[in-house]
Structure 1
C-alpha cells in the first residue's frame, strides 16, 4: 500500500476548455479523474450565473456605457458650440480626451460588457483583434491626455512664458505625439508581437485577451511606468 502511494504520478493535465482529465498511475493500474471546471472557469456563462444576477449586471453595465457616452458627448458639444472654449488652445487637449473617452463608450465598453455578461467570446478572432486594438489605442491615448493636461496646468503656473507661447500649433503637435504613440502601441501585435496561442484561446477557449507575449507586456508596462 505504501509503495503504491509513493508511486503515484500525475501523467497528464489538460487545461483547455474541455474538461480536464488527470491520469494517475499507480501499482494497480490507471485511474482517470475528470475535472469538470475548465481553465477559464472564473468567467461565468449565462447558464452558470443566475438570471437575476445577469439582468442586474447587464443593467449596471448599460448605465455605465450610457453615462460615458452622454457625458463625453456633452463635453465635445460644449467646446464646439462655445466660442470662448473653442478659441483657447488648452481646451484642445480636453476635446481630444473627450473624443478618446467617447470611443471607449461607443466601442470598447459595449463589447467588454457583452463579453462579461455572456461569459465567453463568440465573435471570432477578427473582432477580438479589433476590440483589443481599439481598447489599447483609446485607453493609452486617454492616459497620455491626462499626463499632457497635468503638464499643461503645471507649466501654466510655474512658467509665465509658457502661457504666451502656448499656441494651437504646439498643442496640435502634442496631440499628434499622443495619438501616434497610442497607435504604435495598439498595432504592435499586428506586426507579429503576439503570443502563439492567441487564436486557439479565442476559437477554442472563447476568451479574448490582450497579447500574452511576455516581451510585449513588459515593454508596455515599462512605458507606463516611465
Structure 2
C-alpha cells in the first residue's frame, strides 16, 4: 500500500519525534574532523538517523561499530560520524551526502591501504544511498545526489550496511556496482522503509548489529 507524500512526511516526522523521546533527545553528536586521518585497516563511516544521539548513532551506528570490532579481530578500526544536520530540514540528507564523500576522498588519499564500511540508518541510509549513486530524492527526508564516491575509490568500499532505508518505500533499492556488498535491512512493520505502522520496528535495528558484522566480515 502506498501513501501520498504529505502523509508519508507526517508519519516520518512523528516517528522521528518518537525516536528522540525513546533514545534521549539533546545528546550531542560529535563528528571527527575530515582532515584528521587515522590510517586503520578499516574506516567505518556512519550516518545517523533523524534526531539520533550517540557518537555514531545510538540505535545503529554505535552497536554496529562495536559488533564489527568484536567480529573482525584481525583488522584495526577507526570511525567517522558523518557531519550533517540529521533533522527534517530541506537539504539535510544532501549535506550529509557531501560530507560523507568528502571524508572518504580525504581518507583514501591519506591512507592508500584503508578500506571503508559505510553504515546508514533511516535518513542516514539516504545519505549513504546518494553517496554511492542511488538517489534518495523523493523518499522521506531524502534529497538529490550532490556527490558520489569516485570510481577509483569504489573498490575500497568493502561493505554497505543500511537499516530502515527510506528509498525502499518508494520502490527503490541499492543496485549495480555496490549491490553484492550491501546489506539492506527493513524490519517487518517499519513505516519508513515499508508500508507498516509499527514505530518500534524502526527503532529495533540494534538487534541486527551482529548480522551486519557477520556480513561485513565476509567482505573485508
Q: What TM bracket, shorter-length normalisation?
A: 0.3 to 0.5
Higher relative contact order by CA 8 Å / sep ≥ 6: 1 or 2? 2
Larger Rg: 1
Richer in helix (by share): 1
Structure 2 length normalisation: TM-score? Answer: 0.32
Structure 1 length normalisation: TM-score? Answer: 0.31
